[in-house]
Amino acid sequence: MAQLASRIAAALSTLDDRPTILFGHSLGAVVAYEVARVLGHRLGRPLDGVVVSGRRAPSDPPGGGVHLMPDDAVVEELVRLGGTTGELLDIPGAREVFLPAIRADFRLAETYRHVPGVELDCPVTAVIGTEDTEVDAGQAALWAAHTSGGFALRTFPGGHFYLLDHAAAVFDLFASPSVPKRG
């Protein structure tokens, strides 16, 4: 995770003084958090915000062993979460193309462990689906401990992939007062 975050932060470090809000969903939420930690140090200024979606706080690791399961079980888990209907992965040759990346995502998500240290000093908004079986409001609220820059929790109807049905409203979070303002 540290290497991934460092590489992404290096690519984004050219942003200079442009307003910058990072967004990440599920595993991407932790990636956005780790990138924000690195960027805050490299840029010498806090970001304008981080929006984390569908993920427990870094200090509350989910664990799990999906990445160790047989292919059929990985597909079943992906379907259960709402990430696909499974039909895509039934196309001949599709599993060979997509499952290695999907399994790698599960491995990174399930084995990530938060290393205490520099926390964020920018606003953080956690967003979850009200029927998400992977993270509830109490678990999402723990993100507040990872920033000194303000925290907000937003919910939308739906499961882990609630944002597929609420993309415009989630996008509006970047411009609305629901993202707590710094200062």
Summary mean pLDDT of the chain: 85
Q: Mind listing the pLDDT tens digit for each residue in 69-100? A: 888 888 888 887 777 777 777 788 888 888 89
Determine whether 67 is an active site residue: no
Judge if 54 and 96 occupy the same domain.
no
Residue 158 lies in a domain: yes
Judge if 48 and 85 occupy the same domain.
no
Judge if 39 and 83 occupy the same domain.
no
Q: Mind listing the pLDDT tens digit for each residue in 10-57? A: 888 777 677 788 999 998 999 999 999 998 877 676 688 999 999 999
Residue of 25, 26, 53, 146 marked catalytic: 26
What is the model's pTM? Answer: 0.85
Read off the DSSP letter of residue 160: T
Residue of 25, 53, 146, 160 marked catalytic: 160
Residue 50's closest CA among 73, 64, 34, 62?
Answer: 34
Give residue 105's domain range.
Answer: 66-110
Judge if 6 and 55 occupy the same domain.
yes
Residue 178 lies in a domain: no
User: Quick check: 51 and 179 in contact, CB under 8 A?
Assistant: yes
Residue 36 lies in a domain: yes
Residue 21's closest CA among 6, 39, 5, 4?
Answer: 39
Judge if 144 and 162 occupy the same domain.
yes
Number of structural domains (the chain) is: 2
- What's the pLDDT score for residue 46? 67
Determine whether 160 is an active site residue: yes
